[in-house]
Amino acid sequence: MPDTPSAPLLLGNQPGSFPHSVLAERHPAIIKQVREAFPYEPAQHRALDELLVSCTEGEIEPLPADAHDRDLWEAWGLREYTGRSWFDVPWLWSESWFYRRLLQAVGYFGPGPWQGIDPFRPFKLAELDSAETGEELAALDDLAGRPAAEQAQALLHGSLWGNRADLGFRLSAEGARAADAAPGLVADDSDRLWSPLDATGPGTGTLCLVADNAGRELVPDLLLVAHLLESGRIGRAVLHVKPYPYYVSDATTADVVDAVRRLTGAGGAAAAYGRQLWSALSDGRLTLRAHAFSSAPLPYEEMPGDLRAEFASATLTIVKGDLNYRRLVGDRLWAPTTPFADVTAYFPGPVAALRTLKSDVITGLDAQTEAALVAAEDQRWRTGGTHALIQVRAPGRTIESKGS
């Protein structure tokens, strides 16, 4: 592994910083929105009140002795962080802990009548059923007659920019919509992304896609998978989703089913894609994976052995979204010119990141690009969601053969 200098972990204890605003402002807003989305009972309202005080003013508390995942969280750092302020532990950890505690507060883990009820489902469905989603699906009819390579590139960029439909991000970015006018890629390795898939025989490669958000982002992810399966560019796909509701809009198995049903009910080319996906799920060409580590408050460098083996066997792993990018490269304030290949050298196989920029973490930029972004926007380009990247690390001859 290259000797990459380390960088400071992101914490939320610096007033005015983006992590601090998430902990101090976004999380209370999410509690309010969840409280209003369901007719929760008095005990749940009390638990939400307690969570609001704890996450903004209090300390991290242990899980109940009978919590089903207590051993996991203690292995993930809960023993070490109990009694400390939410703002003084790694930001990635405290964000993940917030969602674990929110689910506990609303009774998601049960037992009881609210067990298994996704507190974010109304927001996900509203987006999936929106007029904007319908317009995007109708546009697929125009894409259907184009060459396969052109379709693949269009669907790749649809998957990339679909990441902007992040409900948690939008809760604190209502005023930023006017800034959506001119998005741009700050890094584009899209040509290199196809190399590992093209190096295998037709219909033989395996794609792992680590999904991020449900709704309008998950739909283009599924469209990309369906196209790659139908065109024979891959023989099998594994879609990694969250084992429980997470970060407001992160995709679960139920969200995948909702998205496929939305496609099949849309008519035209969208419905054809939906039928392809339904068939692929039924015959095993597309499988779902909801590994516990998908919701861990840790970087992927600390992934368990079974997950490492799965990624090692994949022809290519695509990691979607801002949170997964933070977990892929480490949630640290890297110098933006730190090579992406260096910070992902631990990853056991070829990996690509598709991400719109919504947090401070960034690697793999050239100095000229960074300077231009800073000159134009100071540091706002890091968090505004108007820039994106496609970065690839695919070691070995597959990249060298393309002249990269």
Instruction: Find the range with the poorest average confidence among 110-114, 115-119, 172-176.
Output: 172-176
280/320 Cα distance (integer angstroms): 21
Instruction: Find the range with the poorest average confidence among 149-158, 287-296, 351-360.
Output: 149-158
pLDDT (tens digit per residue) in 48-97: 999 999 999 999 999 999 999 999 999 999 999 999 999 999 999 999 99
State whether residue 269 is helix, strand or coil.
helix
Quote the pTM value. Answer: 0.91
Q: pLDDT value at position 4?
A: 65
List beta partners, residue 240: 210, 289
Write the secondary structure of 164-210 as one string of H (helix), E (strand) and C (coil): HCCHHHHHCCHHHHHHHCCCEEEEECHHHHCHHHHCCCCCCCEEEEE
The C-alpha angle with vertex 380 and arms to 192 and 370, in degrees rounded to 5, equals 45
Residue 251's pLDDT band, with cuts at 50, 70 and 90, is: very high
Q: pLDDT value at position 245?
A: 97
β-strands 387-393, 351-356 pairing: antiparallel
- Residue of 316, 323, 280, 279 lying closest to 299 (CA atoms): 323
37/57 Cα distance (integer angstroms): 25
pLDDT (tens digit per residue) in 324-375: 999 999 999 999 999 999 999 999 999 999 999 999 999 999 999 999 999 9
Q: pLDDT value at position 68?
A: 95
Residue 227's pLDDT band, with cuts at 50, 70 and 90, is: very high
Q: What is the mean pLDDT of the chain?
A: 90
pLDDT (tens digit per residue) in 186-213: 999 998 999 999 888 888 999 999 999 9
Please determine, for residue 174, whether its predicted confidence score (pLDDT) is greater than 60. no
70/237 Cα distance (integer angstroms): 32
89/76 Cα distance (integer angstroms): 13
239/259 Cα distance (integer angstroms): 13
pLDDT (tens digit per residue) in 44-59: 999 999 999 999 999 9
Do 22 and 172 form a contact (C-beta atoms < 8 A)? yes
